[in-house]
């Protein structure tokens, strides 16, 4: 598994993907930081984080688009699947590789927080900061598992990226979709799987077990589905 993880990371940084993803993430992060914190002389980073929600769901498909689709296209999956590696190790290696890549993007928040510390009375509310960071990481990991699953379904990384972005946007707008439904119980059901809803508790610096379990369940479910896709391909 560590071999796959290392290889994934190396492939992000030997190609331009890793750098471009980080650059885009840092750019929007910087933009929102400037606007909400510096320009408004605010030490509240929660607005910055909630604005980055959208960037996160759009950038993650770029991280994972190659993961499994390109392996299949280039037939390198033959090397992986005929090696003594278990399928679980392959999926987990790919998943963790993307998560570590995403964590590299998270570094920018630390820089923002440190920057704020230089202002008189500017040190951010750390519990809110850590809550937001944890929420963003869980959200990112959940999106990675969903996008990895999408990547396992196709041989084309373009399709994988586009479908992943659409899925991300649908998740982002899921509350608005819920509002359109007039039948109560369906509307409630949709809201209960809303990522934004589960993410919100973290933004106020509250650690909620229920929300953490929600994100971890999503991660487990989609990694499991990815595993089944790989398994099924063998048996079809």
Partner 1 sequence: MVEVKNLVKTYGDIKAVNNISFTVNDGEILGFLGPNGAGKSTTMNIITGYISSTSGTVTINDAEILKEPKEAKKQIGYLPEIPPLYTDMTVRKYLEFMFSIKKVKLPKDEHIDEILSLTKLTDHQNRIIRNLSKGYKQRVGLAQSLLGNPPVLILDEPTVGLDPSQIKEFRNLIKGLGKKHTVIFSSHILSEVSAICDRIVVINNGEVVADAKTDELSTVITGKGNLSIEIEGSVTSVVSTLKSVTGVQKISVDRKITENHHLYNIEHKKEVDIRRAVFAVLAKNNMPILAMNEGGMSLEEAYLKLTSRTTAKGGKK
**4 binds partner 1, rule: CB under 8 A:** yes
Residues 53-72: x where in contact with partner 1 by CB under 8 A, - otherwise, as a string: --------------------
Among 31, 54, 78, 192, binds partner 1 (CB under 8 A): 78
In the complex, minimum distance from the CB of residue 85 to partner 1, in angstroms, rounded to a whole number? 5
Does 83 engage in binding with partner 1 (CB under 8 A)? yes
User: Which of these segments, 49-57, 83-91, 148-156, 202-210, binds partner 1 (CB under 8 A)?
Assistant: 83-91
Note whether 7 binds partner 1 by CB under 8 A. yes
Query: DSSP assignment of 207-224, as one string?
Result: --HHHHHHHHHHHHHHHH
Point out which span in 18-26, 27-35, 176-184, 228-236 binds partner 1 (CB under 8 A).
228-236
Q: Give one word for 25, left, alpha or beta, with left for phi > 0 and alpha for psi -120 to 50.
A: alpha
Contact call for residue 15 and partner 1 (CB under 8 A): yes
Examine residue 3 and tell whether it contacts partner 1 (CB under 8 A): yes
Which of 101, 81, 82 minimizes the C-alpha distance to 91?
81
Write out the DSSP string of 173-193.
THHHHHHH--SHHHHHHHHHT
Stretch near partner 1 under the rule CB under 8 A, chosen from 6-14, 44-52, 133-141, 162-170: 6-14
CA distances, 153 to each of 131, 143, 157, 228, 234 (Å): 34, 16, 10, 11, 13
CA 94 to chain centre: 13
Q: Is 177 in the site for partner 1 (CB under 8 A)?
A: no
Q: 2 or 41, CB closer to partner 1?
A: 2
| Cα–Cα nearest to 22, from 63, 67, 69, 61 | 63
Question: Applying CB under 8 A, does 77 fall inside the site for partner 1?
Answer: yes
Q: Tell me the H-state helices in 85-125.
A: 87-117
């Amino acid at each position: 598994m560590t071999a796959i993880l290392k290889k994934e990371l190396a492939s992000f940084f030997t190609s331009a993907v890793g750098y471009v993803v980080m650059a885009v993430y840092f750019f929007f992060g910087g933009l929102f930081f400037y606007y909400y914190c510096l320009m408004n002389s605010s030490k509240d980073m929660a607005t910055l984080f909630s604005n980055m929600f959208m960037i996160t769901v759009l950038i993650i498909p770029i991280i994972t688009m190659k993961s499994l689709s390109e392996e299949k296209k280039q037939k390198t999956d033959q090397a992986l699947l005929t090696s003594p590696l278990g399928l679980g190790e392959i999926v987990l290696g790919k998943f963790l590789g993307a998560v570590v890549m995403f964590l590299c993007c998270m570094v920018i928040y630390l820089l923002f927080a440190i920057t704020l510390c230089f202002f008189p009375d500017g040190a951010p509310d750390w519990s809110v900061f850590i809550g937001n960071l944890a929420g963003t990481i869980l959200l990112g990991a959940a999106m990675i598992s969903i996008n990895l699953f999408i990547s396992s379904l196709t041989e084309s990384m373009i399709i994988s990226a586009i479908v992943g972005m659409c899925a991300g946007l649908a998740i982002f707008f899921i509350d608005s979709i819920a509002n359109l439904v007039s039948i109560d119980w369906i509307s409630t059901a949709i809201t209960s799987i809303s990522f934004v809803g589960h993410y919100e508790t973290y933004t106020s610096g509250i650690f909620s077990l229920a929300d953490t379990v929600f994100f971890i369940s999503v991660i487990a479910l989609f990694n499991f589905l990815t595993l089944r896709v790989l398994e099924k391909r063998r048996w079809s």
